[in-house]
Amino acid sequence: MSLQSLQHIAQASGGIIYFMALLLLVALTIVIERSWFLYQTLRVGMSLMAQLDEHHEPTLPVLKELADRYSGHVQERLLNTAMQLRREPDHEHAESRMEESIMREIPHVDRFLWILDTIVTLAPLLGLLGTIIGMFNAFSVLSDANNAPTQVTGGVAEALLATACGLFIAILGLIAFNGLNNRVRIVMHQLETIKVMLLNRVKAPRHNSATRQRNLESETA
């Protein structure tokens, strides 16, 4: 199909196909950017979990080194919060602070996904609108007695391409959207795991040692 034919089909749809091409470009950009971001986030999270497995009671310099190493990633806020909570005696308050850190990072994790969801819904509707406009143009040739009826069928076929384009964008976008949502779910589960690992390593040893001290004092008394 030549470029001139594509331009003719786009004009027959009232310019809707041009807009759908823009939607496709935006959708592909979001899919590529979010896929790379989530891949990097998961890779950094796995590396951080491996580092925490090597330190059962990480000291403040160790946490500072990890925060500097993973600076600019969503896990950095968790590490900074863990450093601030090392002297926090209340375990429940520490857990709430860590949960707050995760909630603050959620907008960075699922950013732009609402645009992709909108494109998935909007593309078929725009395709249908382009087809309706094309059908109007196709049947308008009947008002001229010199036009052949075959021109109507050709115009209808061109108009249906708008619907096909809208469905194509929606199908690709839906597959990508569900895949990215699954990645977001995995990232959130990983952040929750890192939160628990940090709490167990930063708060649990102090709590256990204090409990043992109280038990020894009670036995002595």
Domain coordinates in residue numbering, the chain = 3-211
Q: How sure is the predictor about 12, in pLDDT bands with cuts at 50, 70 and 90? A: low
Q: Which of 72, 69, 96, 73 is nearest to 85 (CA)?
A: 96
Q: What is the pLDDT of residue 93?
A: 84
* Residue 191 burial class via C-beta count within 10 angstroms: exposed 0-12, middle 13-18, buried 19 and up: buried
Higher-confidence residue of 15 and 200: namely 200
159 pLDDT higher than 90: no
List the single range of 88-97, 162-171, 184-193, 202-211 with lowest mean pLDDT: 202-211
Q: What is the mean pLDDT of the chain?
A: 82
As a whole number of angstroms, the distance between CA 17 and CA 7 comes to: 9
pTM of the predicted protein model: 0.79
Q: Using one digit for the tens of pLDDT, what is the confidence trace for 38-68?
A: 999 999 999 999 998 888 888 888 889 999 9
Higher-confidence residue of 206 and 127: namely 127
Q: Using one digit for the tens of pLDDT, what is the confidence trace for 101-113?
A: 999 999 999 999 9
Q: What percent of the chain has pLDDT over 70?
A: 75
Higher-confidence residue of 118 and 212: namely 118
Q: What is the mean pLDDT of residues 22-40?
A: 95
Q: How sure is the predictor about 145, in pLDDT bands with cuts at 50, 70 and 90? A: low
Q: Which two tokens stand for residue 12?
A: 């027959």
As a whole number of angstroms, the distance between CA 190 and CA 5 comes to: 50
Asked whether the beta carbons of 178 and 31 are under 8 A apart, the reply is no
Q: Using the 8-state DSSP alphabet, how is residue 133 labeled?
A: H
Q: How sure is the predictor about 154, in pLDDT bands with cuts at 50, 70 and 90? A: low
Q: What percent of the chain has pLDDT over 90?
A: 39
As a whole number of angstroms, the distance between CA 177 and CA 124 comes to: 16
